[in-house]
Structure 1
């Protein structure tokens, strides 16, 4: 690698999936042919069920090896299980890989609707495996009909990159004796590329992420679910700098367009809602030594975010097509919003519930408040003998938006409001001619849907707090072709969320008496060695001897059905070891991430 900053990007091209070829479920162990056990790589997560036994039926949806798979997705077919009564559907994704490779991004589509976006772990020569379960009950209308299945995992496979990915996706169907109320329709906001056997993802900023959507005239509730993730130069968007500071140092590579990103949903050109995204760190991110065998928060299931567009139904239920558009923007000190690097992959789905009496939905004009965010940038550059030696950048932002309208359906007239309140702070501190870096970022937000008059459903409020702090010191030898470079890195980050998940709540696949409360923290340190003789311009994916990383995670989850806690600690080196793994049947205390430098 050229520098620690390049390591962050160069270790990540595109990414993928995880799989055991026999569809093994969590808790089982795969063994390589012979006596060497595969290394289990896992994401800490509350179990979806007390047991995965007792499925009413199950079927393999995907079984495929992704080897030299750039531009060559898996294409298959899905049919719902015959003579099987079920209310809950869980996908189990099992992945194995042997050899050397990067982590890969995987996208799974049924037709033009994206069901799952994920990344793999980085493999080791002796082999890895992972299993992960995702509840996909919200897609019930799609799961009960014939579908084309498309999965992409762009992978390099040659004499250097020897790791292929064996992927098995198994659908598990359970009869939980629930009365579901799934969406009547799921309409994709995507590139509609399944007919050409391609995934229907948009790539921004190079593409145009728009779809023409016609809602049923009797729609009484509509929610847009959006998946968005940065790749390439945008994978670590949260450590980018404002473009005017790109050339501060002449010996390191920086990426521009600021460390701020906003994902926007526009309806007929009007802003309906936004997301200030969670800073995903994939399994090569910051330092690969941090993520074996524990992967980063949400790495195996990149989360969607939801925007309730029900206040717009008076406009949207006219029987005409309306333009739905997805945008990703950065901060520009001159124009507020600016462009971004390539590439963000985005897609979305509109979940539609219709009035069973078939009455056309009417509504008032929308009362909207959508001022632009407030930004403040504080820069400081230190020089010595005409050379810039350090740089400090602090960017803060906040914004509020809301939409309110009166909607009339057969159940009556009610006033609907969708409102968001967000704040953000990012501090970047470069020293040692830009080779050493400290980043601290805090993102807070809340989204609230309320309804008054007529039938009064439970107000939905979702709030989150995402602090992250990391350091990376890069020690570059005079001759990196011969002598190892050294990356010393640390990370401390948390996700604290209090939510009523909108789509599961409306589908009644969860019994939300009170909001779910998630608190998790990851903290780790790593010393990582590599040299340029293994792979020109990228550095070794195999760590040199002496590489060591230590990562620990606290996890606490509580809702009306589940109380769960877990604490894990691992040491990564030539022989990664999980030294502590404790599970609890209750929520646990989770220490705070220290982000005082940004407060």
Structure 2
């Protein structure tokens, strides 16, 4: 856990913009810090009419639709709590008992079709954004960020499909929520939260169950005065947990939760250490702009996560994310690593070590995982072997050139991991191949004596799984994700302790998946593009005025349906909003271009 840091003074004109970010605008991690030292509270918000209706904040995402023919919802309130002075205190917990409708459906021969975890909250006053997590029996179900409130109040909700955790939902346990918040005379916002589980059912069992039979948490155990995630504080820090898996396991998938905070909240903007040392700059994160999460089992690399660049609701410029929040900020993505090829080494009944590290990490990264296991109920023991394994070291290169506070840093990286192994169970001998291929490019440029910074970055991640037995291909699936990011920031018009900050942010997710084989065919295609710009006036570390504009285009097509939305906002107000849930050839706007306009 990092120590708290006092609020920094406004950066003088000779310091470059990134220092301004890290001294004024970034929010440190909520669960391991005192009041945020980096973001700028908004002075003008306190003077608004407190009797006006609250504003609804939202992250653009496609609605979660119950499967055709399903019955429901059966809804259960899991927890209701007001998170005020909760920083450094134990998570809020509540006993969990499987809803009666779940057992009743099984008695009638039905099955779970969909499980949705809904977080709904409201807040009024002044507060920073806070990271929070929801765990059930130690397995994380939701990682999210709170919205920053205003004097008139805000509302928001997050819905997450947690159907893959069906085995967990069927057993008694304990719900734990950690949201580290601080309330004092300045930061008055209390987060009032309801956590609800909605279940939908098929009237009959599905022909094939896609959910795991057992979910094993790879996280810290209660009691804690923090979240159940591991806190990784530097590049040499390795956090791990040892556990034994059932001897009749025939498939295993790691679902990894990742979030970055404190000095690494904006890791993609960090210059190399040599730039910081040459300019004798203190209190500025360095170690360059590349980060990756490396996952190991017994010290052997089994996969990696190159994370999407989530910008939290107070990030870069808080006026950009009101009421449309950044992609992934309310519902942080998770990352799957199929470790089935390695099962031959794990089926000996002994404990094995699952570890996480972050390349070039600064304080702090929160990481944990859920191990999803499929069990062979017709045998007591499966056997297997790893037959092909290839995981060369990370390829990382940095080209630097700078003079004083102006400079350009080009960073490129690539990694490849692949493994093939077989497992013999009552289903026969099945061979599984899993691979990952990553590439990364980042251009980080400082100009105008360091007062302007431009970051242009692309993360390209490909993964695939190929499963076959002696007679047929059971599954062939490929996923390709591209994360583009562009950030422009500049300061100007500084007079004493007052200045203007101009921000332009473009980020997106391009995601394609094709799956086929004996189990059927499916595909998805998502283009989710967001652009935001703002001019903000700052005086004495307070936002005293500004104008924020955000535009987002979301287009999803898949075998499970389609969804389109084109929405724009300006300073808390939605000025245009078009959506369509059909699979028509043309979207309402006729375009899904990734545009800054």
TM-score by length of 1: 0.86
The CA deviation at 1:54 is 6.5
1:298 aligned residue (328, 350, 353): 328
- State the partner residue of 1:497: 511
Q: Which stretch shows the higher mean deviation, 171-180 or 353-362?
A: 171-180
Structure 2 contact 115–197 (Cα < 8 Å) conserved = yes
The alignment status of 1:37 with 2:53, answered yes or no, reads yes
What corresponds to 1:597 in structure 2?
A: none
Instruction: Using the TM superposition, give the Cα deviation of residue 345 of structure 1 relative to its aligned residue in structure 2, in angstroms.
Output: 0.5
- Give the aligned partner of residue 77 of structure 2: 60
Provide the rounded CA distance (Å) in 2 between the counterparts of 1:51 and 1:247.
57
SS where residue 55 of structure 1 aligns?
strand
Q: Which moved more, 1:4-13 or 1:232-241?
A: 4-13
Match for residue 468 of structure 2? 452
Which deviates more from structure 2 when the two are superposed, residues 6-15 or residues 320-329? 6-15
Q: Cα offset for 1:349? A: 1.2
Cα deviations across residues 532-579 of structure 1 (Å, max 9, x unaligned)? 2xxxxxx22xx313x10111000001111211100000001xxx2100
Q: 1:75 maps to what in 2?
A: 93
1:579 aligned onto 2:595: no
Q: Which residue of 1 aligns with 2:417?
A: 401
Distance 1:286 1:200 in 2: 27
Q: How does 1:226-375 map to 2 (within 5 A)?
A: 226-249=256-279, 254-330=284-360, 340-375=361-396
Give 1:253 deviation, angstroms: 5.5
Does structure 1 residue 187 correspond to structure 2 residue 186? Answer: no
The structural deviation recorded for 1:254 is 3.3
Question: 2: CA distance between counterparts of 1:214 and 1:566?
Answer: 45
Q: Summarize deviations over 1:263-303 as a string: whole Å, max 9, x none.
A: 11101110000011111111111211111110000111111
Distance 1:456 1:137 in 2: 26
- Residues 143, 50 of structure 1: CA spacing in aligned structure 2 closer, same or farther, 3 A cutoff? closer
Contact 2:71–2:202 (8 Å) recurs in 1: no
Aligned to 1:2: 10
User: Does structure 2 conserve the Cα–Cα contact (< 8 Å) formed by 1:150 and 1:194?
Assistant: no
Check if 1:592 corresponds to 2:588. no
Provide the C-alpha distance between the structure 1 equivalents of 2:10 and 2:390, rounded to a whole number of angstroms: 47
TM-score by length of 2: 0.86
Matched, 1:199 2:214: no
Secondary structure of 1:433 counterpart: coil
User: How far did 1:530 drift?
Assistant: 2.1
Q: CA deviation at 1:34?
A: 8.9
Query: Cα gap change, 1:6/1:149 in structure 2, threshold over 3 Å: closer, same or farther?
Result: farther
For the pair 1:516 / 2:514, whether they are aligned, the reply is no
Q: Which residue of 1 aligns with 2:567?
A: 568
Check the 8 A contact 1:228/1:347 in 2, yes or no: yes
In the TM superposition, residue 512 of structure 1 has moved relative to its aligned partner by 7.2
Change (3 A) 1:64 1:7: farther
Q: Please tell me whether residue 48 in structure 1 is matched to residue 64 in structure 2.
A: yes
1:201-257, Cα deviation, whole Å (9 max, x unpaired): 110036641111211111110001111111111111111122222234457853111
Match of 1:23 in 2: none
Deviation track 1:417-457 (CA, whole Å, cap 9, x = no partner) reads: 11111100000000122221000000001111112333532
Structure 1 CA distance, aligned partners of 2:217 and 2:375? 17
Matched, 1:550 2:546: no
1:464-494 Cα shifts (integer Å, max 9, x gaps): 01110010102373521xxx32210001121
- Note closer, same or farther for the CA distance 1:449–1:564 as it changes in structure 2 (3 Å cut): same
- Does the CA-based 8 Å contact 1:359-1:410 persist in structure 2? no
Change (3 A) 1:225 1:248: same
CA distance in 2, matches of 1:444, 1:567: 25
Shift of 1:50: 6.6
Question: Does structure 1 residue 472 correspond to structure 2 residue 489?
Answer: yes
| Count of matched residue positions in the alignment of Structure 1 and Structure 2 | 543
Pair 1:166-2:192 in alignment: yes
1:414 is matched with which residue?
Answer: 430
Q: Aligned partners of 1:251, 1:501: CA distance in 2, in Å?
A: 50
- The 8 Å contact of residues 8 and 284 in structure 1, kept in 2 or not, is answered as no
Pairing partner for 2:159 from 133, 141, 151:
133
